[in-house]
Amino acid sequence: MAKKRRNKKQIRQEKMPAITHVTSNKQKGLLLNLFERIYNLSLYKFRLISLVLITIGVYLVTLGILNISKVILEQVFIKPEIDGGSVISDEKLEDKSIGEGISTNIPEEIKDAGKTVSSVKTTAEIARMESLKKTNEIGVWVATDYKDGDIGKGNYTVVKGDTLWEISEAVYGNGANWSQILAANSSSIGFLANGSQALIVPGQVLVIP
């Protein structure tokens, strides 16, 4: 019996290494499966992070290109339009049909006095009204419309409708030069209601330099 028992014990001992071997294989399989899952998860996160970084990079590059394009468009198209607009405005101001008395070329005398273009216009208009009052013919008064060369240099007798602006246009071809006539006749030219010296009346003799 003891011999048989020993044999059974030996048999059990012989079987135990096989069971241990199977258990070890299962543990290895679980570990491999765990490592594989961790690897797959890490790979997924890496791909996701890479995709996000690429998207952000593309966005920043696109934004930079748009900003550069905007600056180029402003320099090429918008600025010339602004400059062109100022030139057109000057040409319109030079157009006499907009209103007599407006000048884009301000005489040096007026610049020195600190006056503006609007003051030139006001002076010319007030001069006309003062001339109307002097002649007492407001209802029929019409400003003269001279052309370059209509009046020569020397002595000139003022007629109804004259202003220094119109006379300057007739003599110099540019009404903005009326200050030259004023300078040559400062002792005989009166003052307007606003204090500007530009009042002339019919019959008055002016020296045209």
- 170 and 141 in a common domain: yes
Quick check: is 100 in a domain? Answer: no
- 76 and 142 in a common domain: no
Structural domain count of the chain: 2
- Looking at residue 9, its pLDDT comes to 56
Closest CA to 196 of 181, 177, 182: 182
Quick check: is 103 in a domain? Answer: no
Closest CA to 208 of 155, 161, 170: 155
- 132 and 75 in a common domain: no
Distances (CA, A) of 14 to 3, 26, 60, 160: 16, 20, 70, 143
CA 146 from chain centre, in angstroms, equals 40
pLDDT along the chain (209 residues), means of 10: 52 54 62 74 76 85 82 66 42 38 39 46 60 53 73 86 86 87 87 80 89
Distance CA 174, CA 15 (A): 126
- 46 and 6 in a common domain: yes
Distance CA 128, CA 144 (A): 10
8 Å CB contact between 184 and 209: yes
- Looking at residue 76, its pLDDT comes to 67
- 169 and 127 in a common domain: yes
- Looking at residue 145, its pLDDT comes to 76
Predicted structure pTM score: 0.36
- Residue ranges making up the domain that contains 61: 1-94
8 Å CB contact between 209 and 194: no
8 Å CB contact between 110 and 182: no
- Looking at residue 133, its pLDDT comes to 57
- Looking at residue 125, its pLDDT comes to 62
Quick check: is 154 in a domain? Answer: yes
Closest CA to 198 of 162, 148, 163, 160: 163
Closest CA to 199 of 158, 141, 169: 158
- Looking at residue 2, its pLDDT comes to 45
- Looking at residue 25, its pLDDT comes to 63
- Looking at residue 117, its pLDDT comes to 43
- Looking at residue 21, its pLDDT comes to 53
